[in-house]
């Protein structure tokens, strides 16, 4: 198993390289980059953006906006009427004065050292931004995924054992209804009912902790943290446990009706031992296979609207805003982190396979 883990870790390098390469050249070819956005804002706001363009004074901006048509730079939309020297200075500010391949290899070298540079528009390093937003995303992703698995697996097993009963029918109806309603609608409903909407004001609507969090005791901090997370995590759990529950049920039903279960019963093994020692181990393989994708989706993309509704500033919102604003360092930095985490979770999934069912030997596949 050790050599397999080493091979998988080494495989992460070309995989990351391929994903970053494809995204780099696709994004560079897309219109509306940071230089074009800054030029557009300069034409619209003039000296009001002086602080955004390092080393460019108000008089230069005013002069650039009154430049003649002969001095226009046609490489960018929005550069009409601006001094070409100003355009070159903005390119240099964002690193676009270098050739495309030079920027590409510089990005690879920086990322190999986990140096993601600084945000174009936030005047801070990408690592600082990620570190600032990470607690929110970890809290939402970790607790919601954990609760979903703790609810879905036992519920799916019970539904499989009581297949066709009234319990199975009623729970299936609730699960289908929960799956049909979008997560953000559950979030809005919880806000209306419990966070100062038309009904009660029990839970807070903003932030991960209270302003006086640092002054609380250990138990007080834990309670305050759980109090702030109650509604956003609940909305994610309600909207996310349906698929895993039905997957667990169907996997158990499939295993229960196999020949080895009939043989085990004929040999006199008790039902609990059959379910725990044989059926559970085989049925859980398909559930474990979906864990990395489920966690990454919940960790980043799945919580975007929930972050917005509950005023939680996490990685999902950061990546979304960076994409809209063409903040390339933040875009590529978060992409790198997301991809690396997903690949490591896939490896963790394979290791879990072996722990659940020792008969699976990835080492022999090489």
- Contact (Cβ atoms closer than 8 angstroms) between residue 239 and residue 183: yes
Contact call for residues 20 and 107 (beta carbons, < 8 A): yes
Question: What is the predicted pLDDT for the residue at 71?
Answer: 40
What is the rounded distance in angstroms from the CA atom of residue 154 to the CA atom of residue 211?
Answer: 38
Residue 41: the pLDDT is: 65
CATH class of 126-365: mainly alpha
Q: pLDDT in tens for each of the 366 residues of the chain? A: 678 788 888 888 899 899 989 988 888 777 666 666 666 666 655 444 444 454 444 444 444 444 433 444 445 554 555 566 766 776 676 677 778 888 889 888 988 888 888 888 787 888 888 888 888 888 888 888 888 888 888 898 889 888 888 998 999 888 888 788 888 888 888 888 887 766 777 888 777 888 888 888 889 888 988 898 888 888 888 877 888 888 888 888 888 888 888 888 888 878 788 887 778 877 777 777 666 666 666 666 557 788 888 888 888 788 888 888 788 888 888 888 888 887 888 788 777 777 766 666 666 655
What pLDDT is attached to residue 366?
A: 52
Handedness of CA 231, 233, 236, 239 (dihedral sign): negative
**pLDDT at site 64:** 45
Q: Where are the domains of the chain?
A: 33-105, 126-365
Rounded distance between C-alpha atoms, residue 286 and residue 352, angstroms: 12
Cβ pair 315, 245 in contact under 8 A: no
Other Cβ atoms closer than 10 A to 240: 22
Query: Of 114, 13, 7, 8, whose CA–CA distance to 348 is shortest?
Result: 8
Contact 363, 69 (CB under 8 A): no
Q: Where are the alpha helices (DSSP H) in 96-125?
A: 100-112
Q: How far apart are CA 90 and CA 93, in angstroms?
A: 5
- pLDDT at res. 32: 67
User: Model confidence over 71-101: pLDDT tens digits?
Assistant: 444 455 545 555 667 667 766 766 777 788 8
């Amino acid at each position: 198993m050790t050599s397999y883990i080493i091979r998988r870790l080494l495989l992460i390098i070309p995989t990351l390289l391929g994903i970053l390469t494809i995204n780099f050249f696709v994004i560079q070819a897309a219109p509306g980059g940071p230089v074009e956005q800054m030029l557009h804002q300069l034409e619209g706001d003039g000296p009001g953006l002086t602080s955004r363009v390092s080393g460019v004074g108000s008089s230069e901006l005013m002069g650039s906006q009154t430049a003649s048509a002969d001095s226009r730079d046609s490489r960018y939309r929005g550069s009409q009427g601006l001094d070409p020297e100003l355009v070159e200075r903005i390119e240099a500010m964002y690193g676009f004065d270098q050739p495309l391949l030079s920027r590409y290899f510089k990005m690879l070298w920086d990322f190999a050292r986990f140096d993601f540079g600084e945000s174009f528009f936030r005047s801070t390093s990408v690592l600082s931004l990620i570190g600032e937003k990470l607690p929110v995303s970890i809290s939402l992703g970790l607790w919601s995924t954990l609760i979903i698995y703790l609810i879905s697996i036992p519920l799916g097993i019970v539904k499989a054992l009581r297949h066709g009963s009234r319990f199975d029918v009623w729970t299936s109806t609730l699960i289908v209804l929960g799956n049909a309603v979008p997560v953000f609608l559950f979030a809005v409903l919880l806000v209306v009912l419990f966070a100062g909407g038309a009904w009660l004001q029990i839970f807070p609507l903003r932030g991960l902790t209270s302003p006086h969090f640092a002054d609380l005791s250990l138990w007080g901090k834990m309670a305050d943290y759980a109090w702030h997370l109650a509604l956003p995590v609940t909305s994610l759990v309600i909207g996310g446990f349906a698929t895993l529950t039905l997957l667990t049920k169907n996997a158990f039903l499939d295993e229960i009706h196999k020949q080895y279960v009939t043989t085990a019963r004929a040999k006199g093994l008790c039902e609990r031992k059959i379910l725990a020692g044989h059926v559970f181990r085989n049925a859980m393989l398909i559930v474990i296979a979906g864990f990395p994708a489920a966690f990454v989706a919940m960790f980043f993309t799945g919580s975007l609207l929930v972050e917005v509704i509950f005023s939680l500033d996490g990685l999902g919102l950061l990546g979304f805003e960076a994409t809209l604003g063409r903040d390339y360092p933040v875009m590529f930095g978060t992409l790198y982190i997301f991809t690396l985490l997903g690949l490591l979770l896939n490896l963790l999934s394979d290791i879990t396979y072996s722990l659940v069912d020792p008969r699976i030997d990835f080492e022999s596949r090489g």
